[in-house]
Amino acid sequence: MENIEFDIRIPQDTEGSVIQEEFVWLNQNGKERKIKLHDYTEIYKIPFLYEYLMRKLQAQSHTVLASLLIEQVTQAGGKPEDLVILEVGAGSGMFGKALADVGVKSITGIDIVPEALEAATAAHPGVYENYYIANLSHLNHSTEKALNDRGFNCIVCGSALGFNHIPAPAWAKAYNLVSPQSWIAFNVQKERWEDTGINSFSEWHPWVAQNEFFKIEQTSEYQHRFYLDGRSLMYIAITGRKQGNLFDR
């Protein structure tokens, strides 16, 4: 384990809490404060805090998604080293590290949270070929050119699409960076994947069910992590192939 300079205390009244509201008490430098698990700006400011929390909650999306993607790639006759990956919402680099561990050589990260780059550099140095802090909906010319020129043939997104952290126009910009038949891998909370209401994944991202844009190769249900109260938090991993460009909306 890395040298850490903090401790966390799980609150007692977490039973039945929803994922967006989960929090812990962070003890650091003799002071205690409340910090939400989805407050990435604050979490990434503290080296190794995100990794510490995810290990404590036995998170496994990063390894599950990486292994399922490589399984599909190899079944199609490809190799991990063939992939040139853009990771959208790269965060502190846990997914990138898992991809590197299964043989991927080229990974570019992008995230909108400025603190993410420092967190990824500290926790997983050398994993990313490049790492951009940028808003995909408003890329500057040099970043957009660099992304277009890199020749990505795979886009991955770990645990960021399902709660609309990455809105449809930003995702479309990333999606359109790769050519048809490129690999796409992401995950979604099971309840949101199965929901049919206005806050469902299919409502936010209708392309996932439209064959002219995306072809699903595999869906897999698995335990993403535990809730703070010990319940299993189930996710769906989706791997597939791009069919056509998305329209910004």
Contact criterion met (CB below 8 Å) for 200 and 208: no
* Whether residues 219 and 158 fall in one domain: yes
- Segment 36-48 mean pLDDT: 96
* Whether residues 16 and 139 fall in one domain: no
Quick: pLDDT tens for 118-167. Answer: 999 999 999 999 999 999 999 999 999 999 999 999 999 999 998 778 98
pLDDT of amino acid 120:
98
Phi-psi category of 245—alpha, beta or left, where left has phi over 0 and alpha has psi -120 to 50? Answer: beta
* Whether residues 49 and 67 fall in one domain: no
1: in domain? no
pLDDT at 206 over 70: yes
pLDDT of amino acid 164:
73
Quick: pLDDT tens for 22-35. Answer: 999 999 999 999 99
* Whether residues 116 and 166 fall in one domain: yes
pLDDT of amino acid 13:
84
249: in domain? no
- Cα torsion at 153, 158, 159, 165 (round to 10°)? -60
- The count of structural domains within the chain is 2
* Whether residues 146 and 39 fall in one domain: no
Provide the residue range defining the domain that includes 15: 7-56
Decide: pTM greater than 0.75. yes
* Whether residues 65 and 20 fall in one domain: no
pLDDT at 186 over 90: yes
The mean predicted confidence, pLDDT, of the chain is: 95
Better pLDDT: 14 or 243: 243
- Tell me how far apart the terminal alpha carbons of the chain are, to the nearest angstrom: 44
- Of the candidates 56, 73, 92, which is a domain's last residue? 56
**pLDDT > 90: percent of the chain:** 88
Beta strands 7-9 and 23-28 are: antiparallel
pLDDT at 211 over 90: yes
- Segment 67-91 mean pLDDT: 98
* Whether residues 41 and 75 fall in one domain: no
pLDDT of amino acid 228:
95
185: in domain? yes
pLDDT of amino acid 249:
47
* Whether residues 127 and 21 fall in one domain: no
* Whether residues 32 and 50 fall in one domain: yes
* Whether residues 73 and 178 fall in one domain: yes
- Adjacent-strand bridge partners of 185: 156, 239
* Whether residues 122 and 44 fall in one domain: no
Q: How confident is the model at residue 17 (pLDDT cuts 50, 70, 90)?
A: confident
* Whether residues 36 and 88 fall in one domain: no
- Adjacent-strand bridge partners of 107: 85
- Tracing tokens 């992939």 back to the chain, one arrives at 83
pLDDT at 197 over 60: yes
